[in-house]
Structure 1
Amino acid sequence: MVQSINTKVDLVSDATSHMGISEYGKIMIGDKGFEFFNSRDARKFIQIPWDEVDFVTASVMFKGKWIPRYAVQTKLNGKYIFSSKEPKKVLRAIRNYVDPSHMVQSLSFFDVIKRGFKSKVKK
């Protein structure tokens, strides 16, 4: 069994990890870090201490009505992508531990197309 890094838990929510093949489990947000535990295999888990979190990026659609997924970018190990049943509650709990200026909204589909078009025009 995996030992949790948190001593106090703020939120536990059903979630999906999108690292390669999607894995279902639970997200635990506490005083020491962000944790994901797989519901089927106890050996598959992700633990990210708060001092390792660099940015939290959220995909926001329909003017904030729907957040399909969010990513936790670490300083050393890259980006971890998650989705959950209650993403707004998860992001509000993360905001207590991560500086709100480090929580950003990802680019929309049209923003990506617009940037690509502008880069082609500049060349």
Structure 2
Amino acid sequence: MIQITMKKDLNTIQSLNQKVDLVMDGTSFLGMGNYGKLMIGDKAFEFYNDRNKRDYIQIPWEEVDYVIASVMFKGHWIPRIAIQTKRNGIYTFAAKHPKQLLRAIRPYVPADHMVRSLTFFQVLKRNFSHLFKKKGNKNG
């Protein structure tokens, strides 16, 4: 279960992780960009907002389907990563050191579920090929 909550009592916020592997500055793009801390641990991927401590995202590793990295300039720059969950959609984050973040995620997500996103030209090519593709005859 993914928790995106706004709770009234600050004392009820608890991390899902027993052991923390990495904590770094990051941005969540859920709605407006929110600055905060990204936390990678043994049980979950977590984001805690700097300004509003009641605003946080917790994604358990069992719920993560894919980790999608937006890679530019042949891997020299990774502007953002996205976490696609099994039931609740895609959450996008940016990190201060994205390669370090992806290395910390690697032990918890299978290698075939860590993928690169499509480039701008791959998206254009796919859309043009679908646009000019002949439609099959429904009557046989």
Q: Hey, what's the Cα distance between the residues in 2 that align with 1:120 and 1:100?
A: 33
Aligned to 2:64: 53
Aligned to 1:16: 27
Aligned to 2:131: 120
Aligned to 2:101: 90
The code of the aligned residue for 2:48 comes to F
For structure 2, the 5+ residue unaligned runs are: 1-9, 135-140
Aligned to 2:86: 75
Deviation at 1:71, TM superposition (A): 0.4
Deviation at 1:3, TM superposition (A): 0.5
Q: Identify the match of residue 29 of structure 1 among 40, 56, 60.
A: 40
List 4+ stretches of structure 1 deviating above 4 A.
Answer: none
Secondary structure class of the residue paired with 1:68: strand
Deviation at 1:72, TM superposition (A): 0.5
Deviation at 1:117, TM superposition (A): 1.1
Secondary structure class of the residue paired with 2:132: helix
Aligned to 2:75: 64
Aligned to 1:102: 113
Q: Hey, what's the Cα distance between the residues in 2 that align with 1:45 and 1:119?
A: 39
Deviation at 1:70, TM superposition (A): 0.6
For structure 1, the 5+ residue unaligned runs are: none
Q: Hey, what's the Cα distance between the residues in 2 that align with 1:5 and 1:120?
A: 46
Name the % identity: 63
Aligned to 2:52: 41
Q: Hey, what's the Cα distance between the residues in 2 that align with 1:59 and 1:66?
A: 9
Report the structure number with the largest CA radius of gyration: 2
Length, aligned pairs only: 123
Pairwise CA RMSD: 0.7
Aligned to 2:6: none
